[in-house]
Structure 1
Amino acid sequence: MRLVLHILCLVFFLSSCKTPEARRPINIKSGSFIDESISRNKELAAKEEARIQKIINNDSAHNYLASQTGFWYFYTKKDTISGTTPKFGDIVTFNYNVTDLNGNVIYTQQELDTITYRIDKEELFLGLREGLKLMKQGEMVTFLFPSYQAYGYYGDDNKIGTNIPLITEVTLNTITKESTTEN
């Protein structure tokens, strides 16, 4: 009897010690949402860039330049003597206004007042942050930003809505080099 009890215990012990099985997910996600989102964003960018290109083609009065980061601009007032542009950490003061591609004013220069900004160390929308780095003191530049270079999907939680391409006219007043502000 004891032998049978030991054998049963041994069989029970060996059968209960199996390796754990991996749990399978209930729902299997395929990543199609991300693929669809990428497709929608590419289509939106293409439409916005086509609208901007149409504005550029219809404006023979200005010589538009394309930036390396995906926006277009022209100089209203250009400094051909100085070679100094703001770099990381420099402090700039500037004024600007914001309109949509149809020319409707969103923010005036008076509403926005003079902005003091430390290059790449403070918050500013991507296109304007990159555009300021192209400017020299005293220059006036008009930028055309697709929405992904402006406020994108979120807008500014005030007057600029979702996926709105923008035109900004910017005047760079001063550039103060970082090295002179730290001494």
Structure 2
Amino acid sequence: MRNLFFLCAFLLLAVACKSPEARRPVQRSSGSFIKESAERNKKLYKKEEAIINKIIAQNSDKDFESNPNGFWYFYNVKDTLSTVMPKYGDVVTFTYDVKNLEGTTIVSEKEIGLQQYQVDQSNQELISGIREGLKVMKEGETVTFLFPSYKAFGYYGIEEKLGANVPIQSTITLRSIESSEEN
């Protein structure tokens, strides 16, 4: 009986000292969702780019410029004398509107009101297109931007006003630039 007790104690000790094993996932992901999503987004961008290029071709009287950040713009009011553009940390005051590419107003300048934004430092909820667009402007200029959906409101849109993945145009007027102490 005593041998049986030692045998059981030894087996229990041997089993208890086993190192823990990692649990394996029930379902393994191959990354195909990410690849499919990237392909979908590339197709969407090509489609939106074609629409924007068509608008640019129809408005040959305007001098459109493309930006390496993925949007197009033309100057409504251009300042050819000033060289001051917003830099990191500057506080800019501006107004803007949001329209679809056909020109129908979605959110008016009056609804949005006067905005202030600290360049590249503010957590303000501005779309990336506007944040980047402000950097190509000078004080007093008015610029109309054409943004593909990924630079605009993307997948989320604007509740009850703008659907998902819709490219937009926005006219921005840069009222003032206050240089930060760091510049």
TM-score range, shorter chain: 0.7 to 0.9
**Paired residues, number:** 179
TM-score (norm 2): 0.86
Distance (Å, rounded) in 1 between the aligned partners of 2:14 and 2:117:
71
Listed as ranges, the gaps of 5+ residues in structure 2 are: none
Aligned-partner SS, 2:173: strand
- Cα distance change on mapping 1:21 and 1:113 into 2, 3 Å: closer
Q: Alignment identity in percent?
A: 50
User: Deviation at 1:52?
Assistant: 0.6
Aligned counterpart, 2:80: 80
Aligned-partner SS, 2:181: helix
Aligned counterpart, 1:53: 53
Distance (Å, rounded) in 1 between the aligned partners of 2:117 and 2:21:
57
Aligned counterpart, 1:147: 149
Aligned counterpart, 1:135: 137
1:37 and 2:23 are equivalent in the alignment: no
Distance (Å, rounded) in 1 between the aligned partners of 2:166 and 2:85:
28
Listed as ranges, the gaps of 5+ residues in structure 1 are: none
- Cα distance change on mapping 1:106 and 1:10 into 2, 3 Å: closer
More deviation, 111-120/57-66: 111-120
User: Deviation at 1:23?
Assistant: 3.4
Aligned counterpart, 2:91: 91
More deviation, 42-51/115-124: 115-124
User: C-alpha root-mean-square deviation of aligned residues, in Å?
Assistant: 2.2
Aligned-partner SS, 1:179: coil
Aligned counterpart, 1:117: 117
User: Deviation at 1:160?
Assistant: 2.5
Aligned-partner SS, 2:145: strand
